[in-house]
Amino acid sequence: MRYRLAAVVATLALATFDDAPGAFAAGSRGKEPRLTIGARVVSGTPQSAHAYVSPGAPTYVTEFPKALVVHLVGKHINAHRVRFTCAQKQCALGVPVEPAGGKVMNTATYEVEAVHDQAALKITLTTNRPGTFAVYAAPVGDGDEIIKKSAPFVLVAR
């Protein structure tokens, strides 16, 4: 009995030290490392635009002249969409011209398709007051990726 235990321990130790697939390495066998993806700002920040009072509502509407443009970075296979989200609670994201393949996720979030690892969105913000607002763009993966970085945009409604 003791000899069998010693033989098993010795075999496992040799298999592990020689980088052969042994019992200690068996847990990681078959799993591929997760891909790391992120987004980098190409253009569209910082920018400022005049906020107009919304007719019939106590809100301000600001249409920004330049599109928010991001480039996907890192190793990615299935990240072909980018989600733009307004960080403040009193901020609603509008899209004056809907891009092909775009869709509204909720009032503060809009998702677009990335073409050649680049996504762009021209936006309108509806807010309860003028001020500085942050919009973040993050890639959307299929669950196998780790999203490391989102792209921040600074927008001023004046």
Residues 60-92 have pLDDT tens digits of 999 999 999 999 988 766 567 899 999 998 899
Q: Where are the domains of the chain?
A: 1-31, 33-157
How sure is the predictor about 140, in pLDDT bands with cuts at 50, 70 and 90?
Answer: confident
Is residue 17's pLDDT more than 50?
no
Instruction: Report the alpha-carbon angle 154-157-158, nearest 5.
Output: 130
Token couple for 109: 């979030």
pLDDT for the residue 11: 44
| pTM of the shown model | 0.75
Tell me which residue of 102, 100, 111, 104 sits closest to 137, measured CA to CA: 111
Q: Reduce the secondary structure of the chain to three states and give it as a string.
A: CHHHHHHHHHHHHHHHHCCCCCCCCCCCCCCCCCEEEEEEEEECCCEEECEEECCCCCCEEEECCCCEEEEEEECCCCCCEEEEEECCCCEEEECCCCCCCCEEEECCEEEEECECCEEEECCEEEECCCEEEEEEEEEECCCCEEEEECEEEEEEEC
Report the top-level CATH class of 33-157: mainly beta
Q: Which residue has the higher pLDDT, 121 or 79?
A: 121
- Whose tokens are 């075999």? That residue is 11
Give the least confident one: 17-26, 27-36, 87-96, 119-128. 17-26
What average pLDDT does the chain have?
80
